[in-house]
Structure formats: C-alpha cells, structure tokens
Amino acid sequence: MADENEKNETDAAPTGNVTTPDPLANGADTQPQIGVISQYVKDLSVENPNAPDVYQWNAQPQIDVQFNIGSSQISDEVHEVELKIDVTAKSDEGVAFAIELLYCGLFGLRNVPDEQAHPFLFAEAPRLLFPFARAIISDAVRDAGFQALLLEPIDFNALYLQQREQMAAQQSGEQPAGNA
C-alpha cells in the first residue's frame, strides 16, 4: 500500500534531456579571490636591559625603527606574510628598550596571477597587518614602563614601487634615481 503523498515513477515529470548547471559556467570559481584567513604574533621580544636605572635618565632617547617584509607559500592558495619590526631606543647612557616583533597573516589567494599576487603580498598585505602590529608595539613599550610609542603610518605601496624600481635599475646596470 503506497502513501498518498508519495509519487510513483509514472506520475513524475518526463526527464528528457535535463542538464544541470555547470558551476564553472558563470565564472564563480575562475574569478580572482583574496581574503585574510588569520593574523598572529609569531615572535615578540621586549628588552629593558637597563631597568631600573633607565627610569632616571633625563636624555630623550633616539628611536630607530627597522622593518622587513617576507612571504612564503604555505599551500597552493595560502601565503604567510611576515611583517618584522625592530624598534630600539638609545641614549648616551645606553639602550632604553629594544622590541622585536614578527607579526604574520595568512592570506588566501585563488586565481590571482603572479604579477598581481606579488604586489598584494608585499604591499597590500603588510598595509593590512601594520595597524595591529603598531598597537602591539605601542602596548609593549608602555608595558616596559615607558610612554606608549605610536609608529608613524608607512606607505607600503610606495616602498614596494621604489624597491621594484631599484631592482629594475640594478638588473639593467644603472644606478637608481636619487643615489649618487
């Protein structure tokens, strides 16, 4: 005995030539896609080598900030971008503090050509990571007993373009503009 709500094969609509839509036909999986997967502190070092004497020093320390950007491919569609920032405060009496931060992000890149992936990984991704790294450094300096340090914004795109220009000049055997 069949349930009244069930349809048997003779009641079904004729199948004929039924086609299912191709998921790639609309370009859904062929369009370039970029996304932030995760951000994290990979390494953080805070040194206050002259404490507690440093808190009695009257001279304003000179702040030296160095940074470096690296990228490594984790899988076909995932890259890790590393933003390394070193901050050292020195005065005539010695080193007030030294902070080394390696702040990273995992970025997913799908269907992005290499000529577009490289600028993203070395200019745009660091731009996205920098505000978080900046806050970590500010907090670390404050937690070491000093006034919070707010790093100036960095134009990673301009630096990327400048570096590419210098590399092109070196490859062609010329001196880059602005260097004597």
**Which residues of the chain, if any, have pLDDT below 70?**
1-28, 174-180
Query: What distance in Å separates the CA atoms of residue 136 and residue 148, rounded to the nearest whole number?
Result: 10
Strand partners, 62: 90
Radius of gyration of the chain (CA): 27
Question: Tokens representing 136?
Answer: 């970590």
Ordered domains of the chain (ranges, CATH)? 33-171 (3.10.420.10)
Q: Quote the pLDDT of residue 174.
A: 63
pTM: 0.77
Task: Specify the length of the chain in residues.
Answer: 180
Rounded to 5°, angle at Cα 38 from 36 and 43: 130
Report how far residue 11's alpha carbon sits from residue 65's, in angstroms, rounded to the nearest whole number. 77
Q: Is residue 164 classed as helix, strand or coil in its secondary structure?
A: helix
Amino acid at 125: A
pLDDT at 5: 47
pLDDT of residue 8: 46
Q: What is the pLDDT of residue 30?
A: 83
